[in-house]
Chains A and B, each alone.
Chain A
Amino acid sequence: MNAAKAGAASGQHKLQAEALTFGSHDEALEAFHGRGWTDGLPVLLPTEQRVRAMIAGAGRPAADVIGLVPPRWAEATVENMAINAVMAGCLPEHMPVLVGALQAACDPAFGLYGIQATTHPCGILIVVTGPEAARLKLNAGFGCFGPGNRANASIGRALRLVLVNVGGAIPGQGDMSTQGSPGKYSYCTAENEGATPWEPLRVALGYGREDSTVSVFAAESPHNVNDHQCLTAHTVLSSIASVMATIGNNNASCIDSGDVLVVLGPEHAQTVAAGGMTRRDIQRFLFDRARNTVGLLRQRAQWSMARWPKWINQDNDETLVPLVGQPEDIHILVAGGAGKHSSFIPTFGVTKSVTKRIERVGK
């Protein structure tokens, strides 16, 4: 068994990773677990053949540096990302999404050092929209946050393994999250474009309809909004606003340094659209309604860390404080299957989501 955390040197392009040899598959797997290279679950062993196929899927040279990953500030290359993608169970065609996700995560606006090292339980949520989402068979329907779909599960897991094995986000060492999160195993979904009554997310963000994009959010787990009762746009959105306006999330105190994500289930989206509301109207409504009072925030949350815009009157306990600095920082995504559930996803708060175009190989 010639596994590579590591591919050996052969063929026309020499790989950088060290070749490792084990007596058996089981021995190799135990070694990977023992060296802290897994997320605790079994991995597919990164043999040289598999790693080379994954590199080919990226359509870039193996030595290309995609980003510097904190807190270790190590280079994520196509090769070491491919190794982790193999381990996570990816197909070679998933690589352009993984590369785009890491480019986005390494954008300074995202603030990856804080995201990796914070005590807050943020995973990195990957959202894919556009033709590539369908081509790669990403699940945007029932169970869009998992489990059960290979592309969602393995792409999200691959990014986490890169963050750990390249970036050093080892719990208690480089990842200081107090409790961690299920979203730190794998956290990847797609836009249900067929059920989106408005322009797709990527178009709202300034990309073309023909583009495919990948966005990253430093995201808590989804907070559910169950509303089987409300049948108008304003009442459904009021339920969502009530889930948003909780004082324990980071955005309650961070305000304009962060953004948040609302994921509308298709049935709630249809109800809201039937009320004549546009994407912009929804953002404005939630910006106005999802608020906490200064008096409540003063006693709780992270009052001592608050750095707020001057237009918020901190001297009046009745002042209503939004979660973000402007309506556009409440992103709206439609995803999921049938049923009257939506979700609110708070973020680390000192981070803005970043979107990159997916560069498809051979396009």
Chain B
Amino acid sequence: MTLCTDAFLGLAREEARTLGMPELPLVIIPHPLGGEPAERVQARAAGALDGVVAALTRGAP
């Protein structure tokens, strides 16, 4: 699976498709990540956790 921010979702989907992995699970977090204070990054991680677990255990959430 791959984590990406919503601003890069289009690129991620296209890249997965062209590399022959159209079903690659993508877990999306709100943009931006760079420059965010630690507590917001923690919140992004917490918000993405269920999706990551689901992607790694059952495929795309």
Contact = CB atoms under 8 A, between A and B. Distances in A.
Interface of B is mostly: helix
A22 interface: no
B19 A174 contact: no
Nearest to B34: A304
A173 B18 contact: no
Contacts of A172: 10
A168 B10 contact: no
Interface in A164-215: 168, 172-174, 176
A265 interface: no
A176 B8 contact: yes
Contacts of A71: 11, 14-15, 18
Contacts of B18: 71-74, 168
Interface residues of A, number: 10
B36 to A, nearest CB: 12
Interface of A is mostly: loop
A174 B8 contact: no
A73 B7 CA distance: 21
B10 A173 contact: yes
A173 B8 contact: no
A218 interface: no
A168 B8 contact: no
Interface in A72-117: 72-74, 117
Contacts of B15: 71
Nearest to A305: B34
A72 B14 contact: yes
A167 B38 CA distance: 37
B24 to A, nearest CB: 14
A72 B10 CA distance: 12
Nearest to A116: B11
Interface string B7-42: 110110011001100000000000000000000000
Contacts of A74: 18
B57 to A, nearest CB: 29
Nearest to A173: B10
Contacts of A73: 18-19
B19 A173 contact: no
B11 A176 contact: yes
B5 to A, nearest CB: 11
B11 A117 contact: yes
A168 B18 CA distance: 11
A172 B18 CA distance: 17
Nearest to A302: B34
Contacts of B10: 172-173
A117 B4 CA distance: 14
Contacts of B14: 71-72, 168, 173-174
A118 to B, nearest CB: 11
Nearest to B13: A173
A172 B7 CA distance: 9
Interface of A: 71-74, 117, 168, 172-174, 176
21 contacts: A71-B11, A71-B14, A71-B15, A71-B18, A72-B14, A72-B18, A73-B18, A73-B19, A74-B18, A117-B11, A168-B14, A168-B18, A172-B10, A173-B10, A173-B11, A173-B14, A174-B11, A174-B14, A176-B7, A176-B8, A176-B11
The 3 A-B residue pairs with the shortest CB-CB distance in the complex, in nearest-first order: A173-B10, A73-B18, A72-B18
